[in-house]
């Protein structure tokens, strides 16, 4: 494997890459950069956003630029303004030590006058959307007469957006063009068509699409009837208090409406769609990047090119029609080696679409339960408790206020004080979820497990392992399969919680699994497996857990005491034993 320092690149670029902290080139960079540095032939790179493709073409492009010449030498065409801005930002970082280098971005949605001024100041590199570039060419604000390198970034998306004629027109007006580098997530006949019309003897490089084989994504789906979609979204958000995510809708109108409803309810979200002007969209992105917003509600087009690496969740408010679009969406999470969750809210009829996507991404999706009110309150309670436990008040805060706080609460019992603090945080949630119905579509609410279409009774199982043990549904299934030798498809409806998980197995497999798993250890800790139903009567109960396939209706109701949500005993969380045993 090559290091960046092995590439025969101009020193200014190597230095910039080192400033940025890039150590090893990504697979597409490994393949493309040495070729394009040595001999800039025509190439097609099949790679998606998140694979490092911008640097794969950007570094060789800058390597070949002659900064002493004051005319446009390189053009990068990209489908959206967001992507244009990001490419410009990236290229400017790579070229930070190249004195005299100018990289300008031009895109629609902002007044053209300012951009006319910018392109007249002789940048060597222009990043453009096709429409705005043609506009500038028609106004004779810039000339492509000396253009040597053209990069078509996200070519498939430009074609999807109807830019074919614009691309043709631009490429026909580049008399000095020597090399064309085409990047695309997918290879269609139309993409190949561009290559055939405008490229010569090209070489193809492809890397496994980042998000179709990304095993760090846990794909989950939640089955709800159409009219419960928004309420389901709300519960999923409440159930993931630390979320930093993107919620995808199909239409701009939905993005606006869903976001407005959430904002009214106090969620730090904002819409992002094509009906918003550029200034508003940039502002939203700024707030999202600075984490002033926890979520954005976006359409596919507006979200293209959002370059944020630590997205924890992608939520499909509705599944896209095209399974390929699903992979683009889910690929927004689990980037740069991190793991992430992609949740889809589907109606019972759309389960067949899930199967279709499963085949495309070659990963099994996990059917998960829409949490009930009790679970949500319980989850939030642990979230706040952890926040309190890990908070580190600044030294000057402590100095200023310690005495004041002590005087005020000197006579209050510590437990009571903590209860009050948590109550303040939770009372709105408790209020909202006081009387909640089961939103999972297609199940009876009588408890006792659901039945498969074959009439085989399924049993809901509890296991004392969860997210805190580094598990997601996939990893849990893997552990169970390896420990018991059962077929992976005997395990269904896996719901991984913080410190425990639930799943369904056929009734006749339950006993066998309990027998085989209960003697096992996971990371040194003894595994406990039970039928979820049987835990109801166990010591301390652990209210709010799932029992017998669906939660008991009374478990979903607030009974006036926070302990009703499982803080009272039985659960690992309250035993105080977990922390010590972890790892």
Residues at the interface with ligand AMP (CB under 6 A)? 22, 25-26, 29, 49-55, 90, 307
Question: Minimum distance between the CB of residue 52 and ligand AMP, rounded to whole angstroms?
Answer: 3
CB closer to ligand AMP out of 52 and 245: 52
For the CB of residue 557, give the shortest distance to ligand AMP in the complex, in Å: 46
| CB of 173 vs ligand AMP, minimal distance in Å | 27
- E strand segments, 339-464: 340-346, 366-367, 458-463
Minimum gap (Å) between residue 12 Cβ and ligand AMP: 17
Report whether 269 contacts 294 (CB < 8 A).
yes
Question: Least distance to ligand AMP from the beta carbon of 90, Å?
Answer: 6
Token pair of 164, please? 């074919």
| Tokens 């810039």 -> residue | 142
* Parallel/antiparallel/unpaired status of strands 501-506 and 492-496: antiparallel
Answer whether 375's CB lies under 8 Å from 235's CB: no
To ligand AMP, the closest distance from the beta carbon of 340 in angstroms equals: 15
Which structure tokens are listed for 241?
């208090």
CB of 307 to ligand AMP, least distance (A): 5
CA distance linking residue 486 with residue 472, whole number of Å: 18
We find the least distance from the C-beta atom of residue 303 to ligand AMP, in angstroms, to be: 13
Two tokens, residue 248: 């995808």
Distance CA 497, CA 520 (A): 20
Residues 6+ apart with CB under 8 A from 192: none
Q: Closest approach of Cβ 50 to ligand AMP, in Å?
A: 5
29 or 129: whose CB is closer to ligand AMP?
29
Contact (CB, 8 A) for 119 and 142 = yes
**CA–CA distance, 381 with 429 (Å, rounded to integer):** 10
Both tokens of residue 343? Answer: 């949740």
Question: Which is nearer to ligand AMP, 17 or 233 (by Cβ)?
Answer: 17
List all residues 6 or more positions away from 546 whose beta carbon is below 8 Å from its beta carbon.
369, 375, 460, 462, 495, 502, 532
Nearer to ligand AMP by Cβ, of 19 and 275: the residue is 19
Q: Which is nearer to ligand AMP, 29 or 495 (CB)?
A: 29
Considering the complex, what minimum distance in angstroms separates the CB of residue 119 from ligand AMP? 24
∠ CA 83-89-94, nearest 5°, is 125
- By CB atoms closer than 10 A (0-12, 13-18, 19+), residue 76 is buried
Rank residues 47 and 430 by Cβ distance to ligand AMP and give the closer one: 47
Bridge-based pairing state of the strands 458-463 and 43-46 = unpaired
Q: What angle do CA 495, 499, 502 make, to 5 degrees?
A: 25
Tokens of 568: 């009272």
CB of 44 to ligand AMP, least distance (A): 16
| 22/244 with CB nearer ligand AMP | 22
Shorter beta-carbon distance to ligand AMP: residue 20 or 169: 20
- Tell me which residue of 99, 101, 9 sits closest to 63, measured CA to CA: 9
Smallest distance from the beta carbon of 23 to ligand AMP, in angstroms? 6
d(CA 4, CA 20): 12
Question: By C-beta, is 183 or 458 nearer to ligand AMP?
Answer: 183
CB nearer to ligand AMP: pick between 54 and 80: 54
Give the count of beta carbons closer than 10 Å to the beta carbon of residue 392.
7
DSSP notation for 112-168: HHHHHHHHHT--SEEEE-HHHHHHHHHTTS---TT--EEEETTHHHHHHTT-HHHHH
Choice between 312 and 350, CB closer to ligand AMP? 312
CA-based end-to-end distance of the chain: 33
């Amino acid at each position: 494997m090559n290091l960046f320092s092995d590439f025969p690149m101009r020193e200014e670029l190597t230095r910039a890459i080192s400033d940025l902290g890039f150590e090893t080139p990504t697979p597409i960079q490994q393949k493309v950069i040495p070729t394009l540095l040595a001999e800039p032939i025509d190439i097609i790179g099949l790679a998606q956003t998140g694979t490092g493709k911008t640097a794969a073409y950007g570094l060789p492009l800058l390597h070949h630029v002659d900064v002493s010449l004051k005319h446009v030498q390189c053009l990068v065409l990209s489908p959206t303004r967001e992507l244009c801005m990001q490419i410009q930002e990236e290229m400017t970082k790579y070229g930070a030590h190249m004195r005299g280098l100018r990289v300008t971005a031009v895109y629609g949605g902002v007044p053209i006058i300012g951009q006319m001024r910018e392109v007249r100041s002789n940048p060597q590199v222009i990043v453009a959307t096709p429409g705005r570039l043609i506009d500038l060419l028609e106004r004779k604000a810039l000339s492509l007469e000396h253009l040597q390198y053209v990069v078509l970034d996200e070519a498939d998306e430009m074609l999807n957006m109807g830019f074919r004629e614009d691309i043709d027109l631009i490429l026909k007006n580049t008399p000095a063009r020597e090399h064309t580098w085409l990047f695309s997530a997918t290879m269609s006949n139309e993409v190949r068509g561009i290559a055939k019309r405008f490229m010569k003897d090209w070489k193809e490089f492809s890397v496994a699409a980042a998000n179709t084989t990304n095993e760090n994504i846990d794909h989950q789906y939640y089955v709800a009837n159409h009219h419960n979609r928004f309420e389901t979204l709300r519960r999923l958000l409440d159930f993931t208090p630390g979320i930093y995510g993107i919620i995808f809708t199909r239409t701009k109108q939905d993005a606006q409406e869903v976001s407005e409803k959430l904002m009214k309810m106090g969620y730090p979200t904002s819409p992002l769609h094509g009906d918003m002007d550029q200034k508003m969209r940039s502002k939203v992105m700024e707030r999202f990047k600075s984490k002033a917003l926890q979520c954005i509600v976006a359409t596919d087009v507006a979200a293209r090119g959002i370059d944020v690496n630590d997205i924890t969740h992608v939520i499909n408010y509705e599944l896209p029609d095209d399974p390929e679009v699903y992979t683009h969406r889910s690929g927004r999470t689990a980037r740069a080696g991190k793991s992430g969750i992609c949740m889809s809210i589907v109606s019972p009829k759309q389960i067949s679409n899930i199967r279709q996507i499963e085949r495309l991404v070659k990963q099994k999706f996990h059917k998960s339960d829409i949490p009930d009110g009790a679970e949500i309150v319980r989850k939030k309670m642990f979230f706040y408790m952890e926040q309190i436990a890990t908070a580190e008040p600044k030294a000057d805060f402590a100095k200023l206020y310690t005495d004041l706080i002590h005087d005020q609460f000197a006579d209050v019992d510590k437990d009571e004080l903590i209860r009050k603090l948590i109550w303040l945080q939770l009372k709105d949630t408790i209020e909202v979820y006081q009387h909640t119905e089961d939103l999972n579509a297609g199940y009876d609410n009588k408890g006792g497990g659901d039945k498969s279409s074959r009439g085989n009774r399924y049993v809901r199982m509890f296991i004392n392992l969860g997210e805190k043990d580094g598990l997601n549904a996939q990893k849990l299934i893997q552990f169970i399969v390896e420990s018991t030798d059962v077929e992976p498809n005997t395990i269904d409806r896996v719901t991984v919680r913080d410190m425990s998980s639930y799943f369904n197995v056929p009734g006749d497999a339950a006993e066998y699994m309990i027998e085989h798993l209960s003697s096992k250890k996971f990371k040194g800790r003894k595994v406990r497996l039970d039928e979820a139903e049987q835990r109801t009567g166990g010591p301390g109960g652990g209210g709010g857990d799932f029992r017998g396939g669906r939660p008991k209706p009374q478990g979903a109701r607030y009974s006036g005491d926070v302990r009703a949500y499982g803080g009272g005993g039985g659960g690992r969380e309250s035993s105080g034993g977990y922390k010590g045993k972890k790892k």
